[in-house]
Chain A
Amino acid sequence: MEILSPEKIVDGFKVALGDGFIDSKIYQKEVAVKKNIFTSIWIHVKREAFRKAVEHICELQEYPHLAIISPSDRGDDVELIYHFTIYYGHHLQELSLGLRVDVPKSDLKIPTITDIIPGALFTERETQEMMGVEVVGIPDNRRLFLPDDFPEGIYPWRKDETGPEDMLRVLPGRQQKWQQVKE
């Protein structure tokens, strides 16, 4: 396996994805006394090119590590970032690779990647229940963390009307603070 520089990795994505590639960002910072470099790469892709991008990451390293999917509510869209790490096992060579894909709220669907990375199952289940993004083709459709009697249509991480505001329980002797923050 050849270790590519961050720029080359970005170029590789551009070639592999073509139109599906939107944007990229390379973040580097020096750490501690010896000023070794910490690197993270952010790659923004279209939903159509998303699976291809994951397959491309698998070409960079046979078993890329998928740390987590971090979904966030950005108004009209839900932004999903797949946090990969590649080149682990090599001293200070590892890269954090954030694969960003936007899903419009009118069509909250994303294809599963469990056929490529079997370990992605937990985080896909979590994304479904917490953000309400349907993962198409997911082999296990159950909830992960939320209880079975948790109401349908409420997604704790949303910031719109489907958020968990109605379910909030302010413990006795405490002030409700989140509304103040909101105002």
Chain B
Amino acid sequence: MSLNSFKRALWLYHINAGSCNGCDIEILATLTPRYDVERFGIVLVGSPRHADVLAVTGPVPRQMVSRLKRVYEQIPDPKVVLQVGSCGMEGGVFHESYNLVGPVDQIIPVDVYVPGCPPRPEAIIEGVVKAWVKLEKAAEQRIT
């Protein structure tokens, strides 16, 4: 495989790990006409097996841990994890609870953090761009 291996559209899979929906609707808003990342070929896919980037939102409640791990493992390499929202980073308003196992980076490796509660679509786009750069580097390393 060459460096050019990642000269293709970026596909995103989104998993809600106990998020409040705030970040989730902003992720969707980035895909729709106002912010329209679809013009760069970034689309939300329905199956982790088709995805390059995993977008995780939420502070990860107990029930979602195994599911989050399973979804992460289903994504083919090279992959990048984009963690959206403050509560998945360090608990946010939900820190200190009996049903939370987060933060996300203690369950699966995270590459890009997008802070904010919820982050604006512009911030999510910047996160996706950083994820893209990282994916290209990962593709580069694979050839050497």
Contacts and interface: CB of A to CB of B under 8 A. Distances in A.
Contact of A171 (B62, B63, B95, B98): B95
B90 interface: yes
A174 B91 contact: yes
Given A150-B62, A174-B90, A169 B103 contact: no
With a 10 A CB-CB cut-off, give which of A168, A171, A173, A178 has the most chain B CB atoms.
Answer: A171
B96 A147 contact: no
A20 interface: no
Contacts, number: 38
B95 A164 contact: no
Interface residues of A, number: 17
Contacts of B98: 156, 164, 167-169
Q: Report, as a range, how many residues of chain B touch the other chain.
A: 10 to 19
A178 B97 CA distance: 10
A170 B95 CA distance: 6
Nearest to B100: A169
A164 B98 CA distance: 6
B48 interface: no
A86 B31 CA distance: 44
A10 B102 CA distance: 49
A147 B62 contact: yes
A176 to B, nearest CB: 7
Contacts of A177: 96
Nearest to B102: A171
Given A147-B63, A150-B62, A169 B96 contact: yes
Q: Which 3 A-B pairs have the closest CB atoms?
A: A164-B98, A171-B91, A167-B98
Interface of B: 62-63, 90-91, 95-103, 106
